[in-house]
């Protein structure tokens, strides 16, 4: 299995050395379509044989028909050629259709497999990978593998059969002329290897230059407001001009090599043909060779270069597919969250699993380790000496101990980077604690069946994500079978009814990608209603009211008293009104819980929270009192 480090090293590689294991794995995707592959291979073989036989028919027509003025034979051969042509055209059409059908089926299977895998990977995979590179794996890399599996292999086999057949026939027809024509072969091989590799590299440099231009253009469009605000248009133009110049030079170099490559191959082919015609003419004049044989031989010589040229081109595709396979299979081979949990469950089995394994070796059954499926939970949460770091060398949490009773509302406060969101991430089981345990109702989250847990978990994050579709579809994302009554109840409780009723179409109103046609406050209200509709046993609010105006927040605070009742809740907030509503406040600093208690208790102690209250919350409190007094 590839490590993440290995994956990073090969992110930009366009070609990798041939790998038999990857090659066989790619071919395994054709197994479900064996019958279709055999059919396409048979059609391809028919086309190859027909193509090889063609010059022999022409030779026979010239020597036995034209030379001997046998019109009847020419008529028969004409009919044979027409029938052959129609059969070849039909076979080629069926072959093309079959190849595309196999290719698209493989593409579907591989892309679906990769998508399912990516969707199940732990958050650590996405921490340091740009979205664009992940998208490239699912689109470009999968396409390269599909081409190799569906058409390249069959093409190589057909061209190999064609080459062997042509060599055998020309040697049979006239071995001296065949060997004479082969004298140009070393020069052609040199051109098809050395010069073609240079050409492939040149076009590869061009593609990289285009990718850099696109990346810079994308960054410019997204950051245009900042560029204009700081007056950086000229500097940005210069940066773009460098990338543009780089592409210009790379493209021109590729064109120059391309213009040298094809004339060289044509010239070598022409030299080989000239030698054959020179030798054949001498033999014809001497009466030792027929004119039909010379025509057939020249035709075979033209067909002879085609497979060799194809091999050089296909080999480049094979190496590109190897690079793509290394990246795609590297992702597919990574552990999903569920597999990560299974590994932790095996580890947790400890000595018991080791004993069972020994018994299995002695002839018993191999021990079966299953993930713990959670029943309906009460919401009791425990952190037992939990330490964690997103990177092994940079710890974020240090020995956190916490006990939260079912139905308790906990507020997490502290400076930026203190570890508040990390505690939430561990509770949501987006990550596994480096050491220690996170327990819910006594179940270790490292070894539970995640769907049975997360179906009882609701989250509203600061960076609210709204999907394209309708308001109703976004609300039902948390509960697909929700009734209209349940939806309206959740919407009203989240104070989202007002803005939804004003939208054209109301619940069926279309929402653009990421909810760009809604305000940030409306998006958060919608996300809040979505989480409440799921009726979670544990509710997580991470700056969920940061984009809501104070008046709307006041209404939500009233609703939350009922909504949070009987439900364990964790709230990260920088607003005093949200913090004061909590049963308990945890002050997080440098990855540790440094204080905990109610608002009044913490203010009276004069510690971290009291300082935070003086610096931030007191001003908010005066502002909120002013709003209340002025109605």
User: Using 50, 70 and 90 to split pLDDT, how confident is the model at 359?
Assistant: very low
pLDDT at 396: 92
Is residue 625 within 8 A of residue 615, CB to CB? The reply is no
Q: How far is CA 606 from CA 383, 577, 599, in A?
A: 26, 20, 11
The residue-averaged pLDDT of 568-584 equals 80
pLDDT tens-digit series, residues 460-485:
777 677 787 888 888 888 778 888 88
What is the model's pLDDT at position 398?
Answer: 93
pLDDT at 453: 92
Residue 14 is predicted with a pLDDT of 67
Quick one: average pLDDT of 557-585? 76
What band does 352 get if pLDDT is binned at 50, 70 and 90? low
- Lowest-confidence pick of 39-53, 304-318, 433-447: 304-318
Q: What is the mean pLDDT of residues 3-10?
A: 44
Q: What is the mean pLDDT of residues 400-422?
A: 91
d(CA 328, CA 487): 41
Does residue 360 register a pLDDT over 50? no
pLDDT above 70 covers a percentage of the chain that reads 86
Q: Residue 196 belongs to what H/E stretch?
A: helix 196-222
Prediction pTM value: 0.72
Tell me if residue 80 falls in helix, strand or coil: helix
Strand partners, 439: 382, 444
What is the rounded CA–CA span in Å between residue 157 and residue 108?
Answer: 24
pLDDT at 405 over 80: yes
In whole angstroms, what is the distance from residue 593 CA to residue 402 CA? 9
* Closest of 118, 26, 130 to residue 334, by C-alpha: 118
How many whole angstroms separate alpha carbon 91 and alpha carbon 83? 12
Q: What is the pLDDT of residue 387?
A: 94
The highest-confidence range among 250-264, 512-526, 613-627, by mean pLDDT, is 250-264
**Stretch 228-249: mean pLDDT, rounded?**
87
pLDDT number for residue 439: 95
CB atoms within 10 A of CB 591: 21
What is the pLDDT, as a whole number, of residue 406? 93
Give the pLDDT mean for 165-185: 87
Report the relative pairing of strands 381-388 and 397-404 from DSSP bridges.
Answer: antiparallel
Q: 576 or 581: whose pLDDT is higher? A: 581
DSSP string, 329-392: HHHHTS--HHHHHHHHHHHHHHHHHHHHHHHHHTTSPPP---PBPP-S----EEEEEEEE-SBT
Rounded distance, CA 256 to CA 391, Å?
48
Which is it for the CA torsion 105, 109, 115, 118, positive or negative? negative
How far is 169 from 34, CA to CA, in rounded Å? 32
pLDDT band at 308 (very low <50, low <70, confident <90, very high): confident
Helix %, strand %, coil % of the chain (to 5): 70, 10, 20
At residue 217, the pLDDT reads: 84
Looking at every residue in the chain, the average pLDDT score rounds to 81
What residues pair up with 443 in beta bridges, in sequence order?
440
pLDDT at 38: 92
Per-residue model confidence (pLDDT) at position 628: 46
Alpha helices in 16-70 (DSSP H): 20-27, 34-60
Using alpha carbons only, give the angle 267, 273, 276 rounded to the nearest 5 degrees.
145
> What pLDDT does 153 receive?
82
What is the arithmetic mean of pLDDT over 60-77? 88
**Are the beta carbons of 38 and 95 closer than 8 angstroms?**
no
User: Taking the CB of residue 135, how many other CB atoms lie within 10 A of it?
Assistant: 11
**Largest Cα span, the chain:** 119
Mean pLDDT throughout 288-304?
87
Q: Which residues face 530 on adjacent strands? A: none
* Residue 108 vs residue 312, higher pLDDT: 108
Give residue 397's pLDDT.
94
pLDDT value of residue 426: 94
Least confident of 83-97, 209-223, 385-399, 512-526: 512-526
What pLDDT, on the 0 to 100 scale, is given for residue 514? 64
* pLDDT, average across residues 154-171: 88
Residues 6+ apart with CB under 8 A from 281: 294
Mean pLDDT throughout 155-181? 87
């Amino acid at each position: 299995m590839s490590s993440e480090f290995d994956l990073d090293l090969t992110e930009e590689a366009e070609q990798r050395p041939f790998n038999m294991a990857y090659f066989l794995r790619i071919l395994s995707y054709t197994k479900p379509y064996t019958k279709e592959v055999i059919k396409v291979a048979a059609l391809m073989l028919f086309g190859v044989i027909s193509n090889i036989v063609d010059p022999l028919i022409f030779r026979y027509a010239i020597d036995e028909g034209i030379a001997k003025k046998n019109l009847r034979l020419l008529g028969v051969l004409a009919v044979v050629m027409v029938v052959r042509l129609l059969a070849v055209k039909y076979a080629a059409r069926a072959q093309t259709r079959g190849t595309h059908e196999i290719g698209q089926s493989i593409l579907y299977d591989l892309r679906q497999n990769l998508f399912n895998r990516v969707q199940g990977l732990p958050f650590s995979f996405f921490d340091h990978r740009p979205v664009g590179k992940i998208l490239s794996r699912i689109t470009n890399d999968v396409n390269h593998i599909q081409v190799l599996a569906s058409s390249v292999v069959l093409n190589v086999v057909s061209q190999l059969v064609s080459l062997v057949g042509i060599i055998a026939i020309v040697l049979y027809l006239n071995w001296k002329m065949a060997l004479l024509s082969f004298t140009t072969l070393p020069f052609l091989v040199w051109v098809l290897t050395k010069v073609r590799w240079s050409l492939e590299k040149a076009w590869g440099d061009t593609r990289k230059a285009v990718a850099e231009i696109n990346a810079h253009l994308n960054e410019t469009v997204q950051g245009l407001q900042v560029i204009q605000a700081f007056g950086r248009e000229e500097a940005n133009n210069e940066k773009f001009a460098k990338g543009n110049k780089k592409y210009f030079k790379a493209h021109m170099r590729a064109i120059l090599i391309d213009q040298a490559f094809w004339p060289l191959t044509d010239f070598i082919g022409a030299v080989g043909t000239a030698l054959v015609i020179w030798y054949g003419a001498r033999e014809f004049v001497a009466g030792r060779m027929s004119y039909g044989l010379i025509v057939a031989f020249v035709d075979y010589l033209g067909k002879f270069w085609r497979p060799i040229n194809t091999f050089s081109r296909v080999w480049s595709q094979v190496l590109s597919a190897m690079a793509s396979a290394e990246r795609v299979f590297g992702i597919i081979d990574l552990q999903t969250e569920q597999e990560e949990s299974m590994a932790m469950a095996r580890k947790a089995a400890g000595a018991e699993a080791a004993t069972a394994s020994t018994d299995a070796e002695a002839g018993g059954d191999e021990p079966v380790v299953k993930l713990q499926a959670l029943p309906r939970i009460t919401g009791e949460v425990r952190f037992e000496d939990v330490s964690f770091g997103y990177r092994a060398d940079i710890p974020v949490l240090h020995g956190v101990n916490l006990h939260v009773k079912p139905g308790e509302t906990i507020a997490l406060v502290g400076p930026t980077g203190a570890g508040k969101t990390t505690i939430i991430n561990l509770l949501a089981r987006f990550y596994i604690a480096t050491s220690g345990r996170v327990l819910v109702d006594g179940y270790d989250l490292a070894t539970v069946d995640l769907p049975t847990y997360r179906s009882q978990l609701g989250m509203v994050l600061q960076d609210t994500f709204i999907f394209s579709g309708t308001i109703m579809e976004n609300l039902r994302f948390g509960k697909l079978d929700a009734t209209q009554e349940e939806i309206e109840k959740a919407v009203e409780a989240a104070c989202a009814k007002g803005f939804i009723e004003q939208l054209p179409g109301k619940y069926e109103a279309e929402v653009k990608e990421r909810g760009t046609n809604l305000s940030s406050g409306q998006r958060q209200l919608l996300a809040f209603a979505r989480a409440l509709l799921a009726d979670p046993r544990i509710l997580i609010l991470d700056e969920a009211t940061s984009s809501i105006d104070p008046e709307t927040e006041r209404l939500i605070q009233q609703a939350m008293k009922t909504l949070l009742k009987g439900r364990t809740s964790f709230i990260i907030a920088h607003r005093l009104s949200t913090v004061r509503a909590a049963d308990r406040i945890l002050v997080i600093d440098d990855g540790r819980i440094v204080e905990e208690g109610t608002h009044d208790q913490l203010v009276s102690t004069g510690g971290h929270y009291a300082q935070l209250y003086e610096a931030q919350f007191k001003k908010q409190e005066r502002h909120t009192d002013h709003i209340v007094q002025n109605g």
